[in-house]
Structure 1
């Protein structure tokens, strides 16, 4: 029998299994070749080195934004600014790369750090508005994302644009600022190691440090944290600054590792995807890479399926929606959880009685 401490893992795994089964049923209903479509989706990313590399390449930005949102949400601050921080991080990295000449070893580091700091400042704006005006951080961060987008488009159009190119794009980034590939024949770059390190450090911060403990306590019960003497304002600011910094670093790493130019004329969506990753990982940064890999895998698999069969890649949206509904639904398996807790309590009482 499961232990109550294993319940959340079991619940998440069961939610994913149910979502996949229901998605496969939908494929059987709409497709003339359902078995082939499902097999393409499941095994497609493993069919070649290039396709599996696409999974890893998509996973990298999801790790950054997933860790970012996990930290912000752990403080019960529903800040959606990771999308804007990611976008501005990439923009600042492009500005540093194009306008500030440096040596090859220092250039990417400076661009990534400055991109992270920009993301931190951006993510802190909704927190400051909430502290001083009680404005909802959810609404303000959602609106600020579009300010970040249009600011980026303005700078791209008037300061970075390559007028000889046939599209709205910057000049070519110098080789001195780009992140090197670590697997020949793919775009998997050194940012993968930075992302994995970020997940580990995020876990150590949230679950092994005093400040992380304060952050989680204030997120679970703000009144208790306040009466315990914790400075809620400081906790809120730190969580948003750190989350924004990580998202900004993610944007910088994504640009320098995957692009030859800055051409982000629209939001890329990794900040929104981070909410799915955070939900799957239960706000634990250590599980974020696994959740990011799963989401990247099914998306690449769905894309392969859509190119070779008659099923649309939007089937992934069904899977994502069902997973989120089941994971956030408090009543899903709640009776089973109560049985586990009661069983453990009974065993504990029997053990104490025998002693």
Structure 2
């Protein structure tokens, strides 16, 4: 009770939460206004957008399914953002993790339960190694991690597509598809006659593990301290280079596991015609969660709600699904403006402190 009371009375703790809440509500209101502008039947479109995810149980289960991959990418980016790095290599880790899981799910035979677990671990290790690349380029050659990660995402996307096309493709299918997964590779369903799978519980488990890792272990403390002040962390005896490397490995590991969970839980074969780019959704989720993994489920639920609502609205109305990208942009803009305001506020405070110190010295 004391911590809850302190949260609502402490302005420094309450302000970020209010800005995040404002970003979500403003994006919803802006979306509704846009629907009324472009739709010929705006009332029905707004109803589909706001209420469709809850009108049927199937729709709600679909919402929970959409949460799973963006929860993994949101957790992965929370760790990177704690370091104040802007790497998006988790996109490559997720996609390549799905390809690795596909290879293990089609080419080898293992007992049920063991099969998907082995695939997740292998996909996580490969994803973690991929996640190291922008960090190594940054440390060794001072390459901008955002630019290098975006370029590497294309490299691994085409590499993964090459593996599927030439080594794992089902030649009997008219579409680009891998060989069918073995039954032992598939995750069981949580609810009968739905696609909600055990991967939802796995994602929830990783939320708990990442929260404990970041806020209850020495390694998490080192990540947070390094992100807050690398020079101070170095003077305090923290191996900053090692911290940056293992943080990026863990981030990539989460992305790789997410890709494996998505394959074994939702699909019967690899049928992606293009990169789903869940990392970009993870960016919004991590920003809404304020880099805190315990808030990732809430922000993932909200973002999944927007996506599912936009999906049903586009199917049953005349508003294109791409309108969700506008809402994404609005959320990013509001959260970024908050950071800009804080930057100038801190800068003004430094100037004022400098002036006061000069006056006292006189």
TM-score by length of 2: 0.89
Alignment match, 2:88: 80
* CA-based RMSD: 1.8
The offset of 1:71, in angstroms, is 0.6
Alignment match, 1:31: 39
CA deviation map 1:53-94 (0-9, x unaligned): 111111000100100111111112211111100011111111
Is the contact made by 2:36 and 2:42 (CA closer than 8 Å) also made in structure 1?
Answer: yes
Is the contact made by 2:98 and 2:263 (CA closer than 8 Å) also made in structure 1?
Answer: yes
Q: C-alpha distance in 1, partners of 2:138/2:188? A: 41
Q: Is 1:161 matched with 2:174?
A: no
Alignment match, 2:352: none
Report the count of equivalent residues.
337
The offset of 1:264, in angstroms, is 2.7
The range that moved more, 162-171 or 218-227, is 218-227
The offset of 1:39, in angstroms, is 1.6
CA deviation map 1:172-199 (0-9, x unaligned): 1000111111111111100001101111
Within 5 Å, give how 1:10-25 maps onto structure 2.
10-25=18-33
Is the contact made by 1:98 and 1:174 (CA closer than 8 Å) also made in structure 2?
Answer: yes
CA deviation map 1:235-264 (0-9, x unaligned): 100110000000000000000001111123
Alignment match, 1:289: 297
Q: C-alpha distance in 1, partners of 2:282/2:15? A: 23
Is the contact made by 1:74 and 1:215 (CA closer than 8 Å) also made in structure 2?
Answer: yes
Question: SS in structure 1 opposite 2:122?
Answer: helix
Summarize the Cα distance change of 1:237–1:14 in structure 2 as closer, same or farther, 3 Å threshold. same
Alignment match, 1:183: 191
Q: Is 1:311 matched with 2:326?
A: no
Where does the alignment leave 5 or more consecutive residues of structure 1 unmatched? 339-355
1:139 aligns with one of 133, 137, 147: 147
Alignment match, 1:199: 207
1:71 aligns with one of 76, 79, 82: 79
Where does the alignment leave 5 or more consecutive residues of structure 2 unmatched? 1-7, 347-362
1:3 aligns with one of 2, 10, 17: 10
TM-score by length of 1: 0.91
Summarize the Cα distance change of 1:224–1:11 in structure 2 as closer, same or farther, 3 Å threshold. same
Alignment match, 2:4: none
Question: SS in structure 2 opposite 1:330?
Answer: helix
Is the contact made by 1:68 and 1:243 (CA closer than 8 Å) also made in structure 2?
Answer: yes
Q: C-alpha distance in 2, partners of 1:296/1:139? A: 28
